[in-house]
Structure 1
Amino acid sequence: MSNLLNVGTRALVANEVALQTIGNNIANANTVGYSRQTTVLQTVEGQFSGGGYIGKGVDIATIQRNHNEYLTRQAALSKSVSASDIARANKLLQLEDIFTGGKNGLGAAVTDMMNAFSDVASAPTDLTARTVVLTRADEAAARFNDAATQLTNLQTGLRTELENSVDAVNTLTSSIAAVNLQLQQARGNGQSPNDLLDKRDNLISQLNQYIQTTSIDAGDGTVTLFAASSQPLVLGVKSNPLSVQTDPQDNTKTQVAINFGNQTAVLSEDMLGGGEIAGMLKFQNKDLAEGVNLLGRMAVSITTVLNAQHQLGLDLDGNAGGNLFSPVNMPNGVGATFNTGTGTIGISVDPANVAKLAASDYTVTYTSAVAFTVTRNSDNTVVTPDPVTGSYDGLLITPGGTPNSGDSFLLRPYSNAAADIGIAFASPRQLAVASPVQAAMGTTNTGSLSVANLTAKSVPIPASVTLTFTGANTYTRSDIAGTFTYNPGTAIPYDAANTASGWSLTMSGAAQIGDTITLGPANTSYAKLNAGNADALMDLRDLALFDGASLADGYASLMSQVGVRVQSVQYTAEVSKSIADNLETSRTGVSGVNLDEEAAKLLQYQQAYQASSKMIQIAQTIFDSLMASVGR
C-alpha cells in the first residue's frame, strides 16, 4: 500500500515541478537572454521481488538548460562585428553630410571664386568686379573654415561617445565578475545554476556589442574574457577597467586603453576586431583622418597655386602682387614618446610639385643619425624623394636638431590647413590681375606673326629682349648670341636652363626676314588696362591638382572618395547584420521558448499531474477499505 502511495507522491511532485518549469518558460518567453529549461525525469531504481523488479516511481534528475555553447559564441561574435560596421557606417554618414554639394557646398564656392576673375578680365579697372573676386575668395575661405569646424565637432562628439561606450564596458565587466563569483559559489551544489548562466551569457552578449571578446572556461565556474586578442578584461572575479586617453602623438585623436593597476596598454582598433568601440576608432583613424587630409590638401593646393600665380601679376597701382590667401603653415612633426634624440622635423610645400600632394599623414623614421625614410600612412608605402627638388609627395622635409637612429616623427601636414585659410588683403586695388610682361610687334613686320600666349614666370620681369627673325624658322636674340629655331605653337622660354624665370612666349603664324618682337616689363598704362594675370588665374581651373582631377573638379573628387567609402561600409554593415540576425535566429531556435510547444507540454503534464493525484486517491481508498475490514 505504501509503495503505491510513494509512487503516486513522487509522480505528483515530479509533474508539479515539470508544470512549474513550463510556467517559468512561458513567463520568460520574451525575456532577453533566457534559455528554455526542461525538467529531466529519471526512474527510481526498482525493488526486487519473487515476481521480478517492482518499479518505485520517478524522480527529478535536474532542470536542464537548453543551450548551445557554439551558437551562443558565434551569435555574440557576429553581433560584435555587426555593431562595429554599423557604428562606422553611421559616423561615415555624418562625415558625408559635411561634404555636401549644391550651391551651398564648398565646391560651388571655389567655382564661383574662379569664375569671378572673368569679370575682372573684361574690366581690369572696375573696382566692383575686383571686390566681387575678393568677396568670393572670402566666401570660399569661410566654407573651408566651416568644414574644418564641423570635422572638429565630429571628433569631439566621437570622443564623448567613446567615453560613454567605455563606461558601459566597465559596468558590464564588473557585473560579469560579480556573476562569476556567484557561479563559483554555486558550483558546489552539483546542479547547474541556469538563471545565473543565462545572466552571464546575456552580459557577455551585451559586452560584445561594445567590444569583441573571447572567453575561456576557467574550470571553477568562472570564465575569463579577453579583448584585443590577449588583454584580459575579466579574470575570474576581477575586472580590468578601460579608459579613454588622448593620443600623445596627435592630440586631436583618442585612444582606448586597458588599465592594470598603475600600468596601461593601448588597444589598437585593428586588434579589437568588432564592437562599437572598434568601429568608432576605425572611423577616427581611417575615415575621419582621410576626410581631414582631403580637405586640408585641397586648401593647401588651392592657396599655393593661386598665391603663386597672383604674385606674378601687377595690382592697380603697378605693384607686384602678393599672396591672395594667407599662406598655410604646416605644423612640425611630432616626435614619438620613445625618441632618444633631440631632432626636429619641419615641413612645407614644394611649389614645383603641388600636384603630387597626397591626402595622407606621414611617418619619418631615422635609420641613422642623418638618414631617414618617409612612409605614407594611408597605404604604408615608403615614399621616394623627387630627384630634382628632393620633396616627398610634394612636401619638403627640413630636419633639425640631433636625432638618433630609431627616432620617429608623425607628420600631419594638412591638419590645420582648412581652419587657417583666409584672404590676405581686403583692398580691391591690391588684386594683381595685370600681366607684368608685354610684347610689342615690330612696326615694319611683313609676316603673319601673332602672340598666342605670353606668361610671366617671375617678377620683376627682366630687361627688354628683342627677337629678330632671320628666316621663316630662325631668329636671333638681343640678349644672347646665336641663332634659334622657331616652331609655331612651341613655347620660347626667357631662360631655357631655368624655365621658372622671366617669361614664356608662344607665337603663331609665319615669320618673314626682318620681323621683330620685343618683350619686356609692362609700362604703367599697359598694366592698368591689361588683365593677362586674370586670364592666367582663370586657366588654373583646368590645372590637374588632386590625383589627376582638376582644381575645378577637386571638391567633386573629394565627395566621390568619401561617397565610395560610405557605400562600401554601408554594404558591409548590411551583410554583417544579416549574418548576425541569422546566427541569433539559430541560437534562439535552440534556447528560445516556443509558446505552442510549451502549451502542448502544459496539457501533457497537467494530465500526468491529475493522474498522479488519482493514483494517490485510489491508494487512500484502498487503505480506507482495508482499515474498515480490519475493524470488523
Structure 2
Amino acid sequence: MSLLNVGARALMANQVALQTAGHNIANVNTPGYSRQTVSLQTVQGLFTGGGYIGQGVDVQTIVRNHSELLTRQAATAGSVQAGDAARAARLRQLQEVFSGGPTGLGASINDMMNAFADVVGSPTDITARTVALTRMDETATRMRDSAERIGEIQYNLRQELETSITAINSLATRIADINDQIARVKGNGQSPNDLLDQRDQLIREMNQYVQVTQIPADDGTVGLFVAGSQPLVLGSTATQLSIGDAEAFPGSGQLKLFFNRPGVTPSEIDENMLGGGSVSGLLRFHNQDLAEGRNLLGRLALGIGMTMNAQHRMGLTLDGQAGTNLFALPASMPGYTGGAAVGNVNFANPTQFVASDYEVRFGTSPAGQVIRLSDGKATAFTDLTNLASLNIDGLTFNLTTAGASGERVLFKPFSTAANNIQALVAAPRDLAVANPINAAMGTTNAGTLQLANLKATSTGYVAPPIPGGVTLTFTAGPPATYGVTGSTTPPSGTTGLAYTAGTPIVIDGWEITLQGTPRTGDTVRVGNALDPQYGDAYKRNAGNASALQALRDVKMFDESSLSDGFAGAIAQIGTRTQSALFSAKLSDTIAANLERDRTAVSGVNLDEEAAKLLQYQQAYQASAKMLQIAQSIFDTLIQGLGR
C-alpha cells in the first residue's frame, strides 16, 4: 500500500505541474500575468527500525514569480512616461498652430506691413490702399483662425480629461472589488495568484492615467493614494475623482483635479503633487503650455493692433478726416476670483507686454502684491489707488473692490485677445496715410537744410493753429541752435535749443527731422495739413503710411521687432515642444527597461514551458508505471494469500 500511496501522490503532483505549465502557456499573452511554478515538498518519511522510509511528494503551493519592487518601479516609470507622452503629443498640436511658411500668421503680418510700401509710393492709388486693407483683413482672419484652433485643442483636451477621469473611477471600483475578493480568500493560507495579477494589472493601468502610491494591508488588500495622501482606494472602498474649474478662480478656465469623498466637500488636488500619468501631463499642458500659447497669440494681436491703431489715428484720410482704429480689440479684461474683489486689467503700453497671466494677492488688505506668473516677479502696492497708478508690463490693474486678506485675483489679459479681432476699415479712402501736419522751408534759406522726416508721434498731438503754424528759426553758431514760436511745448519764444542734423525735434506731440547745415536766419514752418494755404497737398502726402510701415522695426515683443514677434512665438513654443519630446523619449526608455526587467522575472518563456511539459510528462508516465507495478504486486499478494 505504501508504494501505491507514493505513486498516487507522485501522479497527482506531476499532474498539477503539467496543469500549471499549461496554464502558463495559455496565458503567455495575457497582460499582467505572472509565471507560476509548482513548489514540491517531500512527505515526511515513515520511521522503522531500518530507518525512515520515504512517503513520496506533495504540492506545497503554486508560486507566483513576481518582484514587488520591479512591479512598482515599472508602474511608476510607466506613469511618468504616460504623462510626458500625453504632454508632448498636445504640444506638437500646439506647435502646428504656430507654424511658419507662406500660409502662416507670420507671413501674413509681414505682407500686411509691406503693403504700405505701395501706398507710400502712391498715396492716392485706390488699388494700393485696397491691397493694404485686404492684408489687414487677412491678418485679422488668421489670428482668429489660430485662436479657434487653440480653442479646439482645449475643447478636445477637456473631453479627453473627462474620459480619463471616468476610466480612473472605473478602475478604482474594480480594484476595490478585487481587494474584497482577495481578503475573502486570503484566510485559507494560500496566495490567490491570478487575482493578485489582475489587481497589479489594474494598478498599472491606473498609473497610466494618474500615479498612485501603494500601501499593503495585513488582510491582503492594497490601499491606493493619489497626490501623496488622498485615499483613492482603501480596502473595498473606492473614492471618485472629478475635473473642474479651480476653486479660487471660477470661470477662468483653469482646470483642477478634485477628490470627492462621500459626504465631504470636494477637495482640490495640487497638480504639482500628481507625479506622472496622462491626467497630470494633460493638466500641465492645459494650465501652462496652452495658456502660454494663448498669451503669445493674444499679446501679438494686442501689440500689433494697438500700435497700428494709435498710429492710424494720427493720420488723415483722403477726405481730410482723422484716422480711426484699424482693428477691433478689447479695452480691458476681467479678473477672476471666488472672493469679494472686483476689477479688471487695462492695456497701456503694447511695447512692454509680457506673455503671462497675473495674480493680485492681498496680504493685509488693501495692500498686496501683483505676481507675474511666468517667472514669479512681484510688484507691491499699498492700496487700490496705488495699484491703479502702477504700470506693470504695460498693464494697469483697476480694482473697484479690494479682496479680503489672503484673497487672490487671477488676470488673463491676453488669453482671449485674438478671439474676436477684426479689421474695421473697409473703404480705401478711409485709410489715413497722410500726416496731419505739413512743413515748408523758408524761401530765403541760405543753408543746406532739408526735410528728412515729419510725423505725429502722439495721439495727443497739437495741430499747429491756422494760419501761422510753428516756426523754427536757426542760428548758424557754432554750435547751431534754433528758436521756436507758435508752439505749446516747448513754449513759444524759446531760443537757444541745440540743433543736430538727423536728430528728431519733438514739438507738441509731433516730430520733425532735418538734415544739413543751417545759416543764421534760415526758417522752417510747420503747419496744419488742412490749412487752406496748403490746399489739397495732404492727399498726396504719405507720411503716416511711412510711419505705419516703420512700425515693423519697433522693439515690442521681448526686444524683438513687431515683424519678428511671431517668429519669437514660434521659437518659444518650439522650445517647449522639443523639451517635452526629449523628456518623453527619455522616460519611454526608462519605462521600457524597467518593464523588461519585470518581464524577465514574471514573463512566460514558451521554450522553457515546453521543456517543462516534457519533463513533467515523463514524470507523470513514470508515476503511472509506479502505480501499475504497485497494483501488480498487490494482485500477486492477494493471489498468494488465496491459496
Calculate the TM-score normalised by the size of structure 1: 0.95
- Is the contact between residue 225 and residue 232 of structure 2 (CA under 8 Å) also seen in structure 1? yes
Could you tell me how far 1:254 is from its partner in structure 2?
3.1
- Asked whether 1:360 is paired with 2:352, we answer no
The match for 1:447 is 447
Q: Secondary structure at the match of 1:56?
A: coil
Which amino acid in 2 is paired with 1:256? L
Change (3 A) 1:304 1:622: same
Q: Distance in 2 between matches of 1:278 and 1:402?
A: 34
Runs (5+) with no aligned partner, structure 1: 495-500
- Is the contact between residue 388 and residue 399 of structure 2 (CA under 8 Å) also seen in structure 1? no
Could you tell me how far 1:402 is from its partner in structure 2?
4.2
The match for 1:137 is 136
Q: Distance in 1 between matches of 2:324 and 2:300?
A: 21
- Paired residues for 1:67-82 under 5 Å: 67-82=66-81
- Is the contact between residue 481 and residue 498 of structure 2 (CA under 8 Å) also seen in structure 1? yes
The match for 1:498 is none
The match for 2:281 is 279
- Is the contact between residue 357 and residue 412 of structure 2 (CA under 8 Å) also seen in structure 1? yes
The match for 2:500 is 487
1:235-289, Cα deviation, whole Å (9 max, x unpaired):
1101001122234524434332121114211223211111111111011001100
- Is the contact between residue 436 and residue 460 of structure 1 (CA under 8 Å) also seen in structure 2? no
The match for 2:170 is 171
Change (3 A) 1:462 1:404: farther
- Is the contact between residue 80 and residue 211 of structure 1 (CA under 8 Å) also seen in structure 2? yes
1:412-454, Cα deviation, whole Å (9 max, x unpaired):
1012210121122322211110011222111111111112222
Q: Distance in 1 between matches of 2:165 and 2:301?
A: 36
The match for 2:2 is 3
Could you tell me how far 1:145 is from its partner in structure 2?
0.9
Which amino acid in 2 is paired with 1:466? T
- Paired residues for 1:228-627 under 5 Å: 228-247=227-246, 249=249, 250-262=251-263, 263-335=265-337, 337=338, 339=339, 341=340, 343-351=341-349, 354-383=350-379, 390-458=390-458, 459-463=461-465, 464-472=469-477, 473-478=480-485, 479-494=492-507, 501-523=508-530, 524-627=535-638
- Is the contact between residue 155 and residue 252 of structure 1 (CA under 8 Å) also seen in structure 2? no
- Is the contact between residue 331 and residue 347 of structure 2 (CA under 8 Å) also seen in structure 1? no
- Is the contact between residue 435 and residue 532 of structure 1 (CA under 8 Å) also seen in structure 2? yes
- Is the contact between residue 362 and residue 377 of structure 1 (CA under 8 Å) also seen in structure 2? yes
Q: Distance in 1 between matches of 2:102 and 2:346?
A: 33
1:61-107, Cα deviation, whole Å (9 max, x unpaired):
00110000000001111111000011111111111122222222111
Q: Secondary structure at the match of 2:390?
A: coil
Which amino acid in 2 is paired with 1:608? A
Could you tell me how far 1:315 is from its partner in structure 2?
0.9
Q: Distance in 2 between matches of 1:384 and 1:140?
A: 38
Could you tell me how far 1:327 is from its partner in structure 2?
3.1
Could you tell me how far 1:626 is from its partner in structure 2?
2.2
1:549-594, Cα deviation, whole Å (9 max, x unpaired):
1111111111111111111101110111111111111001000111
Q: Secondary structure at the match of 2:332?
A: coil
1:190-224, Cα deviation, whole Å (9 max, x unpaired):
10010100110011111111110011011111111
Q: Secondary structure at the match of 1:333?
A: strand
- Is the contact between residue 33 and residue 198 of structure 1 (CA under 8 Å) also seen in structure 2? yes
The match for 2:154 is 155
Could you tell me how far 1:148 is from its partner in structure 2?
1.0
Could you tell me how far 1:304 is from its partner in structure 2?
0.9
The match for 1:209 is 208
- Is the contact between residue 329 and residue 417 of structure 1 (CA under 8 Å) also seen in structure 2? no
Q: 31-40 or 610-619: which moved more? A: 610-619
Q: Distance in 2 between matches of 1:579 and 1:57?
A: 47
Which amino acid in 2 is paired with 1:477? V
Q: Secondary structure at the match of 1:328?
A: coil
Which amino acid in 1 is paired with 2:601? V
Q: 506-515 or 381-390: which moved more? A: 381-390
Q: Distance in 1 between matches of 2:275 and 2:446?
A: 78
The match for 2:641 is 630
Q: Distance in 1 between matches of 2:207 and 2:598?
A: 16
Could you tell me how far 1:514 is from its partner in structure 2?
1.6
- Is the contact between residue 464 and residue 526 of structure 2 (CA under 8 Å) also seen in structure 1? no
- Is the contact between residue 82 and residue 274 of structure 1 (CA under 8 Å) also seen in structure 2? yes
- Asked whether 1:180 is paired with 2:179, we answer yes
Which amino acid in 2 is paired with 1:492? I
Calculate the TM-score normalised by the size of structure 2: 0.93
Q: Distance in 1 between matches of 2:626 and 2:566?
A: 87
Q: Distance in 1 between matches of 2:246 and 2:124?
A: 53
- Is the contact between residue 327 and residue 424 of structure 2 (CA under 8 Å) also seen in structure 1? yes
Could you tell me how far 1:367 is from its partner in structure 2?
2.4
The match for 2:489 is none
- Is the contact between residue 468 and residue 516 of structure 1 (CA under 8 Å) also seen in structure 2? yes
Could you tell me how far 1:405 is from its partner in structure 2?
2.7
Change (3 A) 1:388 1:514: farther
Q: Distance in 2 between matches of 1:387 and 1:533?
A: 36
1:360-399, Cα deviation, whole Å (9 max, x unpaired):
1100012233322110112222147999972111101112
- Is the contact between residue 241 and residue 259 of structure 1 (CA under 8 Å) also seen in structure 2? yes
Q: Secondary structure at the match of 1:38?
A: strand
Q: 31-40 or 597-606: which moved more? A: 597-606
Which amino acid in 1 is paired with 2:182? L
Q: Distance in 1 between matches of 2:387 and 2:455?
A: 27
Which amino acid in 1 is paired with 2:555? A
Q: Distance in 1 between matches of 2:239 and 2:497?
A: 80
Which amino acid in 2 is paired with 1:514? G
Q: Distance in 2 between matches of 1:440 and 1:77?
A: 78
Percent identity over the alignment is 52
Q: Distance in 2 between matches of 1:620 and 1:401?
A: 100
Q: Distance in 1 between matches of 2:262 and 2:641?
A: 81
Q: Distance in 2 between matches of 1:193 and 1:331?
A: 60
Q: Distance in 2 between matches of 1:387 and 1:149?
A: 34
Could you tell me how far 1:7 is from its partner in structure 2?
1.0
Q: Distance in 2 between matches of 1:404 and 1:211?
A: 35
- Is the contact between residue 462 and residue 502 of structure 1 (CA under 8 Å) also seen in structure 2? no
- Is the contact between residue 368 and residue 380 of structure 2 (CA under 8 Å) also seen in structure 1? no
Q: Distance in 1 between matches of 2:188 and 2:352?
A: 72
Q: 457-466 or 540-549: which moved more? A: 457-466
Q: Distance in 1 between matches of 2:453 and 2:54?
A: 113
Q: Distance in 1 between matches of 2:94 and 2:32?
A: 35
Q: Distance in 1 between matches of 2:130 and 2:344?
A: 36
Q: Distance in 2 between matches of 1:159 and 1:566?
A: 20
Q: Distance in 1 between matches of 2:481 and 2:126?
A: 44
Q: Secondary structure at the match of 2:142?
A: helix
